[in-house]
Structure 1
Amino acid sequence: MQQTLKITNVLSDPTRYSIYEYITTNHKNVTVQEIADKFSIHPNVARLHLSKLEDVNMLKSENRKTGKGGRPSRIYQLSDDVIELNFPFRDYHLLAKIAIESMVQLGEIAEPALYETGRRFGYELMENQITKYGLTSDQLTFDQKVEIFKSTCTMLGLYPDLYIQEGQKKLHLQVFNCPFREIAKEHKSTTCNMHIAFIKGLLESLFDDFELLATQNMFEGCDACAYRINIPN
């Protein structure tokens, strides 16, 4: 509870919250000077905000040489620590671990059920998102579908980057945050395949036909998980 109070106190400052949001959105390391310039604040104030975020393990930092001589520059990046705020306490991580490990114990016979459940949850979640627009999937333009897909991935905390290949209906999706990171470290194949099935469910609600290909995996030394989505004309 004490840590929860510390986190809520740190994020109660609008500028500090905006700084954290900026770092999560841009998927890159930042320096004190960059934050000072971006938010038009004094470097000492920027350093204080970054230090406060680091104190509650939302950021981590290290000294890194710039290659220009002089003192190393201190860079800040997102922490890998899980930050959860639940009132009253809930242990959803333990529940997820129990579910995945139960499936693993059941062996190959249980995998189709796990992946189908992931796909169905993705489909139903996207259907709910579409209804907020007061339209059906058939009434949405391609650009609208892409925007809904991206905003949904953002809502799910995936920290996504989504690009449309110019002149073609090909999407490139990068996911910088795995919501199942702790489980995937122990059961990579099962967890990653379930997550892919979930993404397929999101897409199935928007597009009648598509091909989803995984091209990068953050658990194989990459900065992010990446997918190529081909949509026939």
Structure 2
Amino acid sequence: MRQSPARASADRARAASRLRVLEVLRTSASGCHVQQIAERTSLHPNTVRFHLERLENEGLVSRHVRRSGDPGRPRLAYVATVPDVAAGRRHFGQLAEVLARLVSRTNEDPAAVAVEAGRAWGLSRSELSGPTPDGAAAIAELTATLDELGFAPEVRAADDEGHAVVVQRHCPFLEVAESHQDVVCSVHLGLMRGTLEGLSAPVSARRLVPFATSAGCEAHLVVGGAPPAG
């Protein structure tokens, strides 16, 4: 049974907030306590606690007692179990913001333009690898590319439709994606399509679900069949 649009939108909003909490922890090697996370995300401390509980249950964060030497009960600090593998790339954030805004303002269908831009990017990268006719090898090549770019991908079990699912546990352009999701996520989808196309692989990237879960975005891949149009 499919969710109503309102319910799906609310779930995506919660997942986006949860991912923001996780991003704060990924950029803090020593961890943060609840109030620090609340201040950096502009979320209410109770909301932060709710997200931390879910993240801890999913094995994405852990907690420990931080002893400062000050009187009173020591605070709990939370740390991410997945490092910020692309922290060094964040200085491109302002450039990405400018480009995303330009695409949004100068095109009637910015998502389609962004998909094509990402596809061209993926094609240029896959030229370095050559054809990969085997589906499993192509998915491995794709995840290696995504990992190199800082998306921290993880292949999960197939979804209800039998599609392979690749979870993007980190977005190097998260801040831009929050305000220009249609552009940034479409570039990401196009990147995957171009990479697979360049590998001449029997695999296609059907769709990308932004902030699908607190673990990250989900890419749904189809092995075999015609590539998606557009």
Q: TM-score range by the shorter chain?
A: 0.5 to 0.7
Larger Rg: 1
* TM-score of the superposed pair, with normalisation by structure 1: 0.55
Q: SS where residue 217 of structure 1 aligns?
A: strand
Q: CA separation of 1:163/1:205 partners in 2, compared to 1, >3 Å: closer, same or farther? A: farther
TM-score (norm 2): 0.56
Shift of residue 183, structure 1, vs aligned partner: 0.8
Q: Is the 8 A contact 1:216 1:224 kept in 2?
A: no
User: What is the CA–CA distance in structure 1 between the aligned matches of 2:115 and 2:172, rounded to whole Å?
Assistant: 16
Kept in 2, the 8 Å contact 1:169–1:232? The answer is: no
For 1:76, which of 64, 76, 79 is the aligned residue?
Answer: 79
CA contact (8 A) 2:110 2:183 kept: no
Match among 142, 154, 158 for residue 147 of structure 2 = 154
- Return the letter of the residue paired with 1:60: G
Distance 1:200 1:85 in 2: 23
1:126 aligns with 2:126: yes
Q: State the distance in 1 between where 2:208 and 2:111 align.
A: 22
Q: Does 1:183 align with 2:176?
A: yes
- Residue 42 of structure 1 corresponds to none
Change (3 A) 1:191 1:146: closer
Q: How many aligned residue pairs are there?
A: 164
In 2, are the aligned partners of 1:216 and 1:222 still within 8 Å (CA)? Answer: no
Secondary structure of 2:87's counterpart equals coil
Instruction: Say if 1:59 and 1:76, in contact at 8 Å, map to a contact too.
Output: yes
Which stretches in structure 2 are left out of the alignment for 5+ residues?
1-24, 35-51, 57-73, 226-230
Structure 1 residue 58: Cα displacement: 4.0
Report the counterpart of residue 104 of structure 1 in structure 2.
104
Q: Is the 8 A contact 1:158 1:177 kept in 2?
A: yes
Q: What's the Cα RMSD here? A: 4.0
The one-letter code sitting in structure 1 at the alignment partner of 2:199 is L
Choose from 60, 64, 68 the match for 2:31. Answer: 60
Question: Greater relative contact order (Cα 8 A, min sep 6): structure 1 or 2?
Answer: 2
Q: After superposition, give the CA deviation of every residue in 1:123-175 in whole Å (9 maximum; x if it has no partner).
A: 211221x14xxxx334xx3332232222222111111111464xx98421000
Distance 1:144 1:221, change over 3 A: closer
- Which residue of structure 2 aligns with residue 212 of structure 1? 205
Q: Would the aligned equivalents of 1:170 and 1:231 in 2 still touch at CA under 8 Å?
A: yes
**Code of the aligned partner of 1:75:** Y
